Amino acid sequence: MAEPTDTKYENRPLRWRWFGSPRTVAVLAASILVVGAIIYGVFIAYSVSLGEEFNKMSAEGMNDFTAAQKIESESSIGEIRNTVLTIRTLAESPDIDPEGEVFTDFLDSWNERSSFGVTYVSIATLEEGVDDSNRKESDREILRRLKAGESVVSDVRKSNRLDGYFYSIAEPVVKDNMVVGVLRSIVDAHTLIDTTQIKSSVTLLGSVLMKGDGTIIVDSEKSELYDGSNLYDVLRSQGYADAIVNKMQENVENDSDVATLAIGKRNGKTTFFTSVRLNENDWTIVNFTEENTIAEHSQVILHDTVVAGTVLVVISTIACIVVALVIGRFRRRALREADRYAVLAEFSDAVLFEYSYSDDVLELTPNARSVFSLDSLRREHYLERGIPLIDFHEEDVSLVGEILENPAPSGEARHAIVRARTLTGEYRWFSIKCRYLYEGQEPYAAVGKMVDITQQRALEEQLVRQSQIDGLTKALNKVTVEEKIAASLAAHDRGLLFMIDVDDFKQINDSNGHLVGDQVLAAIARALFDVFRCDDPVGRVGGDEFVAFARGADEADVVDAKRRALRDRTEFITKDLGVSVSLSIGVARYPHDGKTYQELFDAADRAMYREKQERDGA
């Protein structure tokens, strides 16, 4: 007969054989509940963190969009202002009558070819219009400023004649130290808030132009309903709380250039209020936007993550002993993954990369294969061996290495602009932004993005070039050529300043028409480009006057060679256009004839007129 102890566990139900006593089961069940509560808390924290990161990312997108909108508006104003300034220089020439037929024909020709028009109005005509009793005080103030010689950008106002809302950019024309008239360009006010940007990064609900105090500026028929209204009062009438409206007003009035504020929810999406000041007339652009579909996808990801967590809790109930052993490691890993994916969410619009400091491994997201020629998306011993995954330009390789070798403090990012070879074989410009994840005081990962900014850089360079180039001749304009030559003087110990004047240019215009005159000026500019080196500054400083600076030369044979070359090309222009063209050329040596641009300019000008007098006398 077996002892009772031999049959004690055999008689126990099968379920207790697996889990031990009921007390043990209760302890394990309680442990699972605690573990489940901890996991649930982690996901809630992750949800909050992810929402905050997406709001930050969205706000950055709104800021970038609105800042670019400001650049477009101010670049447009600057381009028009520079053009009007150039035409003003012509109008102020001693041999030009702003109200005469020559100048009027020139403006007509310009307006036919340009995307914006420029008109001339005498100061007497303006005074007659302002003296009208129905005129606003602001019109009198504009007239006062113009008569004082100031450039003016007017307020936006409705034009019944042009059937729309416009503002004007005006420049006074001065003759004999007296303002005799005004050159102005009338511009569609809607262009101040319109933009050519692709709105894939933001969902634009609407744009408003207003004064700094909130007064809405009507820029089109769509906004006529709010003429004279205050934006803040309109928002309050639409149900926005005073606290939110006050924060909007603080954003507009703060010292920063552009600011974004989350103001509520619309159809489940966060709505943003973004404002940026323009450098004209206390104008402010306000954009109302909402987060894009990236945020919706994040909610799907979060939902799937929560579902996966629930499955984990169920599995851990079945395998409670295993869960009990690994729960500490699981929690630490979950927290690290939460940080990692929160940062990845910020960079979801570009090629992403992740670098592990402990393993010295760099990994790229799969979409990198559609941009770069890659043999792998992963490189081990990345910094140790120094073999890059991406073919960076040799001058930029060190910048990429520095980003990974010198991590920024937690919460801060490092940036770099580099060139990388793409699938087409060409080098394109990319912006790199990298953030760092820390465990204690040591970084364990770097996560970042690469964005192709080639078109953005090209647009910025194009805008700069357009502001520096004379539209007719493609030579540098007066302001830019002076700056370029001044810089050359500082960088070289000698040089030659050539001043070139087209002889009897007014007679060419009068006899052959302004179109032929324009062709002559353009041909003279091309001749200067051929004769002088590509990095020698060549510019148009007056109606028919050009300057060029030969760096690092002051020999007489260089002067003679340039004179001969220019006269040979002038003969070719005469044959080509059928118009007799000749040049007067004055030369000043640096530093012998002057140490500044103005001194050299005056010396070359005197030399040129001596040549004219000697030729006329002969």
**For 29-57, what is the mean pLDDT?**
71
- The answer as to whether 501 is a domain residue is yes
> Which range, 217-226, 254-263, 279-288, is most confident?
279-288
**Which of 192-196, 205-209, 350-354, 403-407 is the least confident region?**
192-196
CA distance 507 to 496: 30
Number of domains in the chain: 3
* DSSP code at position 439: E
The string of pLDDT tens digits covering residues 62-91 is 777 777 777 888 788 888 888 888 888 887
What is the per-residue pLDDT for 529?
94
What is the per-residue pLDDT for 179?
85
Same domain? 50 vs 195: yes
Q: Are 585 and 601 in contact (CB under 8 A)?
A: no
Sign of the Cα pseudo-torsion (24, 28, 30, 31, in order):
positive
* DSSP code at position 392: B
- The answer as to whether 515 is a domain residue is yes
Three-state DSSP state, 175: strand
Same domain? 574 vs 553: yes
What is the per-residue pLDDT for 334?
52
User: If phi over 0 gives left and psi between -120 and 50 gives alpha, with beta otherwise, what is residue 412?
Assistant: beta
- For residue 17, is pLDDT > 50? no
Same domain? 443 vs 539: no
> Residue 2's pLDDT band (boundaries 50, 70, 90)?
very low
Mean pLDDT of all residues belonging to the chain: 81
- The answer as to whether 5 is a domain residue is no
- The answer as to whether 433 is a domain residue is yes
Sequence letter at residue 83: T
Same domain? 429 vs 500: no
- For residue 49, is pLDDT > 80? no
Domain harbouring 574, CATH code: 3.30.70.270
Same domain? 222 vs 353: no
> Which range, 137-151, 289-303, 335-349, is most confident?
137-151
> Residue 589's pLDDT band (boundaries 50, 70, 90)?
very high
Same domain? 275 vs 391: no
What is the per-residue pLDDT for 12?
47
Same domain? 133 vs 185: yes
Same domain? 263 vs 159: yes
In angstroms, what CA-CA distances link 397 with 362, 421, 434? Answer: 15, 12, 16
What is the per-residue pLDDT for 527?
94
Q: Are 216 and 210 in contact (CB under 8 A)?
A: yes
CA distance 551 to 489: 8
- The answer as to whether 402 is a domain residue is yes
**Which of 29-33, 419-423, 471-475 is the least confident region?**
29-33
**Distant-in-sequence, close-in-space partners of 7: CB < 8 Å, separation ≥ 6:** none
What is the per-residue pLDDT for 335?
61
The string of pLDDT tens digits covering residues 267-294 is 767 788 888 888 877 788 888 887 766 5
CA distance 76 to 193: 11
Both structure tokens of 409? 């403090």
What is the per-residue pLDDT for 343?
56
Same domain? 450 vs 510: no
Q: Of 291, 317, 332, at which residue does a domain stop?
A: 291
CA distance 23 to 30: 11
Same domain? 400 vs 546: no
The DSSP H or E segment spanning 412 is: none
- For residue 548, is pLDDT > 90? yes
Exposure string of 570-603, with b = 16+ CB inside 10 Å and e = fewer, is beebeeeeebebebbbbbbbbeebbeebeebbeb
Q: Of 291, 311, 331, at which residue does a domain stop?
A: 291
Same domain? 69 vs 156: yes
What is the per-residue pLDDT for 340?
62
Q: Are 103 and 498 in contact (CB under 8 A)?
A: no
What is the per-residue pLDDT for 411?
84
Domain carrying residue 526 = 468-617
Give the bridge partners for 185, in sequence order: 169
What is the per-residue pLDDT for 5?
45
- For residue 342, is pLDDT > 60? no
In angstroms, what CA-CA distances link 566 with 352, 458, 609? Answer: 56, 34, 17
What is the per-residue pLDDT for 184?
86
- The answer as to whether 586 is a domain residue is yes
- The answer as to whether 320 is a domain residue is no
What is the per-residue pLDDT for 346?
46
The string of pLDDT tens digits covering residues 86-122 is 888 887 888 888 888 888 888 888 888 877 788 888 8
Domain harbouring 386, CATH code: 3.30.450.20
Same domain? 547 vs 608: yes
Q: Of 458, 485, 510, at which residue does a domain stop?
A: 458
CA distance 139 to 132: 10
**For 337-364, what is the mean pLDDT?**
72
What is the per-residue pLDDT for 579?
92
- The answer as to whether 10 is a domain residue is no
